[in-house]
Amino acid sequence: MNKISTTLNPASARPEDTRQEQWTELRSVFPDLPGAGKAVGNRHSLSAGNAHLPEKPSVELFKQAQTWLDALDSRVLVHQLRHLLQQTTLNASESGLRALIQRHMRKPSRINADRDKIDFLLVQYFALCAPAKIYHKQIELGDTAAVMKPVLGEGHSAPLACCAPLEKMIIALRGFRSVRDMLKTNFIAEGRKVKEAAGAMFYDPSALLSFIRFNFLMRRTLIELMHADLIAIRSGLQQLEAAGTNTLDCRHSGSSASEPVAKIRQLADEWKQPFQKDYTERTVNETFEKLLNLRSDVEKGLEQLTARSAATATPRATAPAAKSVPPPTKTPAKAAKAPEPPKEPETIPAWTLRIRLSRFGSSSLPRLRRVAAR
């Protein structure tokens, strides 16, 4: 019998014991909730710190807290929840995230908004608690189950038939080389269809593990691809500078028609991941759109450089043929050697640093697909 009390298989208990368990969870997240409530217009009437919440609540105080939390839940959508976590310490709190997950899983009836919050919170928990070595490997269901054991219990790593499409998409992710490759797919929409088709089976621990793994690998792949695009941009700029190119037409990425290459290189070197405190879907969209457009500008500059090099090399190579036949005593002049074509950008190196995925949500990808079609 599983000794871990989880939200999916709660241990039998008296009402007062269940109330105490829920109260303990509330106390673990409460210091961050007043600010979250104000951010969405939910007035807060409880004490604002752990020290002011007694270890054992009265029935009246317990009901008051639950009523306030229910009101907060009804106002906060999943994209707002993501933003609120960035403004609090909950995103870095194992106990806090676990408490929020348990609260949502404990609801007797759940709507789609609850399902989406649970889906989001579970992958946040995994991203926070997964050991560093997991970030370097192909994550399997057993790895996911080990990390999620405090929340989902154990013995749930057998895949379900309803989650089979997720595995096919995970395999396809391994062949992507650019953010553009990701954005040309319908993986986000297809993943949502699998989630909706699962119905009540979505809450089965084995299904939850499959969705956690899929969501995490989607995030990780997108971050790796972003770094690959940056490497390609920096490599292209290095080739342009070596060939004596000082300016580049960057109107496609929102800059001037004669942007200094040194300035573009500085921009690439200082590129910030869209996972900062001011993270929103809009800022993520703009960040990746500018990244892809900048790579297009650099690649166009390389194409023009190759064309100019080929045009310059051709007359030099044919020049000896236009001259009169040299005397037998002289050695014919050698044709000029055409410059070598630019090398392909290096592929992204193996990860040596842990990726902080807990500040990124893959729900922004659908809006970026229009960029990939360009």
Say which residue the tokens 């600010």 belong to. 35
Query: What is the count of structural domains for the chain?
Result: 2
Which of the pair, 128 or 4, is modelled with greater confidence? 128
Assess if residue 19 is contained within a domain. Answer: yes
User: Residue 303 and residue 199: Cα distance in Å, rounded?
Assistant: 50
In this predicted model, what pLDDT tens digit does every residue of 109-122 receive, in sequence order?
888 989 999 999 99
Report the candidate in 366, 340, 179 with the shortest Cα–Cα distance to residue 281.
Answer: 366
Model pLDDT, residue 4 = 36
User: Residue 263 and residue 241: Cα distance in Å, rounded?
Assistant: 12
End of a domain among 96, 129, 162? 129
Assess if residue 203 is contained within a domain. Answer: no
Model pLDDT, residue 92 = 82
User: Residue 234 and residue 240: Cα distance in Å, rounded?
Assistant: 10
Which of the pair, 288 or 281, is modelled with greater confidence? 288
Same domain, 239 and 358: yes
Assess if residue 42 is contained within a domain. Answer: yes
User: Residue 197 and residue 185: Cα distance in Å, rounded?
Assistant: 20
Per the CB < 8 A criterion, the answer to whether 91 and 70 are in contact is no
Assess if residue 4 is contained within a domain. Answer: yes
Same domain, 233 and 367: yes
Same domain, 233 and 365: yes
Assess if residue 240 is contained within a domain. Answer: yes
Chain centroid to Cα 44, Å, comes to 33
- pLDDT exceeds 60 at position 12: no
Residue 229 to residues 40, 167, 181, Cα–Cα distance (Å): 37, 25, 11
Q: Cα-Cα-Cα-Cα dihedral of 148, 153, 169, 130, to 10°?
A: 10
Assess if residue 103 is contained within a domain. Answer: yes
End of a domain among 77, 105, 129? 129
Model pLDDT, residue 340 = 47
Assess if residue 282 is contained within a domain. Answer: yes
User: Residue 212 and residue 363: Cα distance in Å, rounded?
Assistant: 14
User: Residue 231 belongs to what domain range?
Assistant: 225-314+339-372
Q: Which of 8-17, 33-42, 203-212, 222-231 has the lowest mean pLDDT?
A: 8-17
Report the candidate in 45, 46, 56, 53 with the shortest Cα–Cα distance to residue 21.
Answer: 56
Per the CB < 8 A criterion, the answer to whether 228 and 177 are in contact is yes
Which of the pair, 217 or 314, is modelled with greater confidence? 217
Q: Which of 114-128, 226-240, 281-295 has the lowest mean pLDDT?
A: 281-295
* The two three-digit tokens of residue 338, written as one number: 């055409």
Model pLDDT, residue 303 = 93
End of a domain among 129, 149, 174? 129
Same domain, 113 and 234: no
Same domain, 355 and 236: yes
Question: What confidence category does residue 367 fall into, taking pLDDT thresholds of 50, 70 and 90?
Answer: very low
Model pLDDT, residue 316 = 55
pTM: 0.71
User: Residue 122 and residue 69: Cα distance in Å, rounded?
Assistant: 19
Which of the pair, 70 or 168, is modelled with greater confidence? 168
Assess if residue 238 is contained within a domain. Answer: yes
User: Residue range 228-238: average pLDDT?
Assistant: 92
